[in-house]
Amino acid sequence: MQEKHRILKCDVLVIGSGGAGSFAAIAADDQGADVLIVDRGVLGKSGATVTAGHTCCSAQGPDDSPDLHFFDTVQGGYFVNNQKLVEVYTSEAPERIRELDAFGANFFRKEDGEFWLISPPGGHSRKRSVFYGYQTGPAFMRGFMAEIKRRDIRWQDNTIVTSLLTDGSRAIGATALDVQSGEFLVLEAKAVVLATGGYGQLWAPKTTTPVEAAGDVLAMAFDAGAELVDMEFVQFLPMQIGPKVKHLNPTIANFPGWREEIRKAARMVNSEGQEILYQYDRRGLYTTRDVRAMAIYNEVRHGKRVYLDLTQVPMEIIEEEFEESWPGSYLPLLRKENYSLTETPMEISVGAHYCMGGIRIDEHCRTSVPGLFAAGEVTGGVDGANRLGGNAITEIIVFGKRAGDSAAQYADTAAEARADAQAVGSEKATVLGLLEKSGDVSPISAKSKLQQIVWDDVCVLRTEQGLKRALVAIEELRGKTLAHLGLTSQTKAYNLEWIQAILLPRQLDVAEAVARAALARTESRGSQRRADYPEQDNENWVKNIILRKENGGMMLETHPAVITKLDPSEAISWKP
């Protein structure tokens, strides 16, 4: 018989402890709920929030308003954002930022005591970003951790969730594995909040996302009956890969402001010295970042290297630009590390940065499964086809709070959760059984294969042929690996092979969801670029693609985008 396992009970189970999860936990605690936070990494140091550099937007300035922020966000998302969600986001963002500041984030202020606001990267019509040097993410997490500690909220980290538990009609918790001890856990909850981030690791190592963004939780939610939306929209950014400079964030390749003197003298070239942007856009470096990403991708996938060459730009101008656009920024760091941007060209590549798609929610962060809520990058809908820089970090706290509020209210009247012993037993047998697998396929190399498939054919530039090839390859990988996994070590202590064996089937499902949605959208819009459908098709595609599990398969349907205030036909005439 199976050995006994530990059961942890709570009112609200929050899975993920980055910005969204932390705010959800604090909000639910505020409502008097008994909260348990679970995270697969180390509490306070896990997830994408901590990686944030500068930008964190909200309409705070005297010349700004939530309406302006709304229009910028919907325009930037190419009109397929869920406008109800964008309204919530832009109107609640200023207050959430002030709350987080008070928790202990301590954003930079001007001499008059007001927030010091800087310009976020392209697409925002106002200065609306608070910041804490180039360490805004760590400041965020310091604020959250101080508040979580103050409230003495319970947590259990180093713990991956392996499945969501339902009682047939609602979510009642999850099964989990403590990856340090190998202990199997059952988490019983009256309501569950998913705040586990995106699926950017599918493109690893070409990604700026943290290792926790494996995407498996999206497949888990899908399996439990939640819908996925906008899965095809994945944002890629130019990222710095060389020279290796300590503590330099790879997003520096999205150079601050790109003021004219810099853009005139800077060039993006391949290893053969050829300029690579003009063939796509006569504006060269003035082009949008999706075009830059595509140009870089096309070189890199053909084995060439790409450089951002600033050697013809006077250093004073770069320094001026940094001081003005990114105060407290990388300059001291670059000087300390003895790296001059104007002496050695910066080698760049392209990396998955943010997933606009995810679990479908309404404005109360409800999924289609009662008792199951979601917030942050794990959800889809706020950003449409493209996210503006500086929106992610604020979005996750706006919806994190809403998810925590909703979950606590739901839990207040929900019946006690009791996990079904049979479901738990079968999941436990599966998880522990993986440890004994002795086939000839390493789960870690199988994951690398999946990442290669996705990089080759479900990446920056997509085609019907490539996407179909990817779907076949994913199916093949599923068939060839899942039954033949083998681990070289049977230890229960931080066994990365075991962890990957648990994640792998879910990651295959998520990759399939992205490929299916990308194949169905026969147009190019924002981050979805189809070589075979290069035009944006407003006639047919101001729509969202929704995926739902039906009869064991992936059912795909399209819904018109949710429009409340800004109709796409107004886009051309509207100016902030």
Partner 1 sequence: METVTIKIRRHDPTVGEAPTLQEYTVPYQEGMRILDALLYIAEGIDPSLAYRYSCKIGNCKVCLMKANGKTVYSCQERLEPGMVLEPLTQFEEVRDLVCDLHKRAEV
**Residues engaged in binding partner 1 (CB under 8 A):** 41-42, 45-47, 50-51, 135, 137-138, 157-158, 180, 205, 208, 210-212, 242-244, 246-250, 442-445, 448, 487-489, 491-497
Query: Taking the complex as a whole, how short is the minimal distance between the CB of residue 419 and partner 1, in angstroms?
Result: 27
Q: Which two tokens stand for residue 285?
A: 């470096």
Query: Taking the complex as a whole, how short is the minimal distance between the CB of residue 374 and partner 1, in angstroms?
Result: 21
* DSSP per-residue string spanning 500-514: HHHHHHHHHHHHHHH
Q: Which is nearer to partner 1, 178 or 275 (CB)?
A: 178
Query: Taking the complex as a whole, how short is the minimal distance between the CB of residue 451 and partner 1, in angstroms?
Result: 10
Query: Taking the complex as a whole, how short is the minimal distance between the CB of residue 334 and partner 1, in angstroms?
Result: 14
Q: What b-and-e string marks burial along 195-212, b requiring 16 or more CB atoms within 10 Å of the CB?
A: bbbbbbbbbbebbbbbeb
Query: Taking the complex as a whole, how short is the minimal distance between the CB of residue 353 and partner 1, in angstroms?
Result: 12
If you search the block for the tokens 């999205």, which residue do you land on? Answer: 254
Report the distance separating Cα 206 and Cα 68, nearest Å: 34
Q: Which is nearer to partner 1, 14 or 43 (CB)?
A: 43
Query: Taking the complex as a whole, how short is the minimal distance between the CB of residue 34 and partner 1, in angstroms?
Result: 21
Q: Which is nearer to partner 1, 205 or 439 (CB)?
A: 205
Q: Please state the separation of Cα 330 from the chain's center in Å.
A: 24
Report the distance separating Cα 345 and Cα 242, nearest Å: 9
If you search the block for the tokens 């599990």, which residue do you land on? Answer: 549
Query: Taking the complex as a whole, how short is the minimal distance between the CB of residue 393 and partner 1, in angstroms?
Result: 13
Q: Which is nearer to partner 1, 66 or 143 (CB)?
A: 143
Q: Which is nearer to partner 1, 110 or 246 (CB)?
A: 246
Q: Which is nearer to partner 1, 157 or 457 (CB)?
A: 157
Dmax (CA) for the chain in angstroms is 73
* Nearest one of 69, 70, 81 to 542, comparing CA atoms: 81
Q: Are 521 and 528 in contact (CB under 8 A)?
A: yes
Query: Taking the complex as a whole, how short is the minimal distance between the CB of residue 271 and partner 1, in angstroms?
Result: 15
Strand partners of residue 235: 354
Q: Which is nearer to partner 1, 211 or 483 (CB)?
A: 211
Q: Which is nearer to partner 1, 294 or 396 (CB)?
A: 396
Q: Which is nearer to partner 1, 370 or 486 (CB)?
A: 486
Report the distance separating Cα 27 and Cα 39, nearest Å: 18
Q: Which is nearer to partner 1, 247 or 565 (CB)?
A: 247
Query: Taking the complex as a whole, how short is the minimal distance between the CB of residue 291 and partner 1, in angstroms?
Result: 25
Q: Which is nearer to partner 1, 419 or 454 (CB)?
A: 454
Q: Which is nearer to partner 1, 158 or 311 (CB)?
A: 158
376 φψ region: left (φ > 0), alpha (ψ -120 to 50), beta (else): left
Q: Which is nearer to partner 1, 54 or 190 (CB)?
A: 54
* DSSP per-residue string spanning 226-255: --EE-TT-EEEEEEEEES--TT--GGGGS-
* Nearest one of 149, 137, 140, 62 to 101, comparing CA atoms: 140
Query: Taking the complex as a whole, how short is the minimal distance between the CB of residue 261 and partner 1, in angstroms?
Result: 29
Residue 438 is given by DSSP the state: B
Query: Taking the complex as a whole, how short is the minimal distance between the CB of residue 241 and partner 1, in angstroms?
Result: 9
Distances (CA, A) of 290 to 66, 254, 297, 516: 26, 11, 10, 21
Q: Are 421 and 5 in contact (CB under 8 A)?
A: no
Query: How many CA atoms, within 13 angstroms, populate the side-chain half-sphere of residue 122?
Result: 15
Query: How many CA atoms, within 13 angstroms, populate the side-chain half-sphere of residue 59?
Result: 21
* Helix%, strand%, coil% for the chain, nearest 5: 40, 20, 40
Q: Are 467 and 520 in contact (CB under 8 A)?
A: no
Give all strands of the β-sheet with 358-360 in edge-to-edge order. 379-380, 358-360, 228-229, 543-550, 553-560
Q: Are 561 and 81 in contact (CB under 8 A)?
A: yes
In this structure, what are the phi and psi dihedrals at residue 203, rounded to the nearest 5 degrees? Answer: -100, 5
Query: Taking the complex as a whole, how short is the minimal distance between the CB of residue 210 and partner 1, in angstroms?
Result: 5
Query: Taking the complex as a whole, how short is the minimal distance between the CB of residue 153 and partner 1, in angstroms?
Result: 15
Query: What number of other Cβ atoms are within 10 A of residue 4's Cβ?
Result: 7
